[in-house]
């Protein structure tokens, strides 16, 4: 009989708790122990990264679990070096599971003499021997086209929809808000799932990180507003949008964000803001400050990633997880 190749997981240092949670969920789904491959990812004194895999991976279907979050350069190099180590150890296939894809905001030339770094990173990943990428909520959908290898882009909106339906007993006064014109498609997707109307906060930036003016497009008077976006960095735009919505008559403001970058003053701003709650996924490992904030909640992505990895390994559909009917049972008892 032919030998069945089992999926094997290996994790970098970017988000060990998520990697361990994915392994636990896969163990639950398969009815057998699925652990992380024994390896060390360390640094020399000059901060060069060194990887050593202690298990035989010849002919194995390998999945590298690594977000390219802060410190982005270190975590990206870890991913590339782990892939090189596995490729040179004769792994049959290498899939990079990147819950948060860094450098995604540099997806186009915004002015003269600037790079398209997202494309550069895509080239580096492919050249390192990675044959497939699994990620979630890319900042720009066209980044999938930057790769010459298959890319599965999962969406957090089905998880958000499940959580909203549980947290909000009555959805009749709920309105979904896009914090800018570029995020309308993402907000519309969530609004369709919970059958809520859509509004937009149009913003103008004088320079990156600073918002000059905000205008609300739509009537939010008497509405419980849910801002949805793919990432929250310093939280300046998010907190300002919440203030503007309250000034325009919203009764309360919540936010659902796929990736909690949460740099600098972000936690302090969110804690002091008019937002009633901020909901993040664990695609980026929450800091102690984020985990301890009274109005921030974390939603798990491990059930979705674990099932996606198994679907890739089995050669079955990953897009089936976009449907509530498929994802709902996976999250039953979790949300």
Q: What pTM value is reported for the model?
A: 0.94
**Distance from C-alpha of 135 to C-alpha of 299, rounded to nearest angstrom:** 16
pLDDT given at position 1: 35
At 206, is the pLDDT very low, low, confident or very high (cuts 50, 70, 90)? low
For residue 144, the enclosing domain spans 7-155+302-330
pLDDT digits (tens, 9 = 90+) for 25-76: 999 999 899 999 999 999 999 999 999 999 999 999 999 999 999 999 999 9
* List 8, 203, 223, 240, catalytic entry: 203
The 10 Å CB-count burial string (b at 16+, else e) for 213-235 is ebebebebeebbbbbbbbbbbbb
Q: Are residues 32 and 91 in the same domain?
A: yes
Specify the residue for token string 């819950």: 99
Q: Are residues 26 and 131 in the same domain?
A: yes
Q: What confidence category does residue 209 fall into, taking pLDDT thresholds of 50, 70 and 90?
A: low
Q: Residues marked as binding?
A: 46-48, 105-106, 139, 180, 205, 229, 233-237
* Percentage of the chain modeled with pLDDT above 90: 85
| Tens digit of each residue's pLDDT (9 = 90 or more) over 69-125 | 999 999 999 999 999 999 999 999 999 999 999 999 999 998 899 999 999 999 999
Question: Average pLDDT for residues 18-30, to the nearest whole number?
Answer: 96
Domain count along the chain: 2
Angle at 145 between CA 140 and CA 149, to 5 degrees: 125
177: domain CATH number is 3.40.50.2020
Q: What is the helix (H) or strand (E) element at residue 108, kind and residue range?
A: none
Q: What is the pLDDT of residues 250-293, one digit of tens each?
A: 999 999 999 999 999 999 999 999 999 999 999 999 999 999 99
In a domain, 1, yes or no: no
| Same-domain check for residues 195 and 75 | no
Kindly tell me if the per-residue pLDDT of 5 is higher than 90.
Answer: no
Q: Is 134 in the same domain as 47?
A: yes
What token pair was written down for 218? 């739509």
Residues 116 and 218 grouped into a single domain: no
203 part of the active site: yes
Helices (H), the chain: 16-30, 72-88, 117-127, 157-167, 184-194, 236-247, 266-272, 288-292, 302-314, 324-330
User: Are residues 197 and 167 part of one domain?
Assistant: yes
| Together in a domain, 219 and 104 | no
Q: Which residues are annotated as a binding site for D-ribose 5-phosphate?
A: 205, 229, 233-237
For residue 167, CA distances in Å to 85, 224, 246, 281 come to: 45, 12, 20, 16
* Chain segment 213-247, per-residue pLDDT in tens: 788 999 999 999 999 999 999 999 899 999 999 99
| Average pLDDT score over the chain | 93
Residue 4 has pLDDT above 80, yes or no: no
* 255 and 169 fall within a common domain: yes
């Amino acid at each position: 009989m032919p030998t069945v190749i089992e999926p094997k997981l290996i994790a970098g240092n970017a988000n060990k708790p998520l990697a361990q949670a994915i392994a636990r969920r896969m163990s639950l789904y398969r009815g057998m122990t699925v652990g992380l491959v024994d390896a060390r990812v360390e640094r020399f004194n000059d901060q060069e990264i060194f990887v050593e895999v202690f298990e035989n991976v010849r002919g194995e279907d390998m999945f590298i679990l690594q977000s390219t979050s802060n410190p982005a350069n270190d975590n990206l190099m870890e991913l590339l070096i782990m892939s090189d180590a596995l490729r040179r150890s004769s792994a049959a296939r290498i899939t990079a599971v990147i819950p948060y894809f860094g450098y995604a905001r540099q997806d186009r030339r915004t002015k003269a003499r600037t790079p398209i770094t997202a494309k550069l990173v895509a080239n580096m990943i492919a050249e390192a021997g990675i044959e497939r990428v699994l990620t979630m909520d890319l900042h720009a959908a066209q980044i999938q086209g930057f790769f010459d290898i298959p890319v599965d882009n999962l969406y957090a909106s089905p998880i958000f929809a499940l959580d909203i339906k549980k947290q909000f007993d009555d959805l009749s006064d709920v309105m979904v808000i896009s914090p800018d014109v570029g995020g309308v498609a993402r907000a519309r997707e969530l609004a369709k799932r919970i059958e809520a109307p859509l509004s937009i906060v149009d913003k103008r930036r004088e320079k990156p990180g600073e918002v000059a003016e905000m205008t609300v497009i739509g009537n939010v008077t008497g509405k419980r507003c849910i801002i949805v976006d793919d990432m929250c960095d310093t939280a300046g735009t998010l907190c300002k949008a919440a203030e503007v919505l309250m000034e325009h008559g919203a009764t309360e403001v919540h936010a659902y964000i796929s990736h909690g970058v949460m740099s600098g003053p972000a936690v302090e701003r969110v804690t002091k803001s008019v937002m009633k709650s901020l909901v993040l996924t664990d695609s980026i490992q929450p800091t102690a400050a984020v985990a301890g904030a009274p109005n921030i909640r974390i939603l798990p992505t491990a059930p979705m990633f674990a099932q996606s990895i198994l679907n890739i390994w089995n050669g079955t559909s990953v897009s089936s997880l976009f449907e509530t009917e498929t994802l709902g049972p996976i999250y039953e008892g979790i949300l």
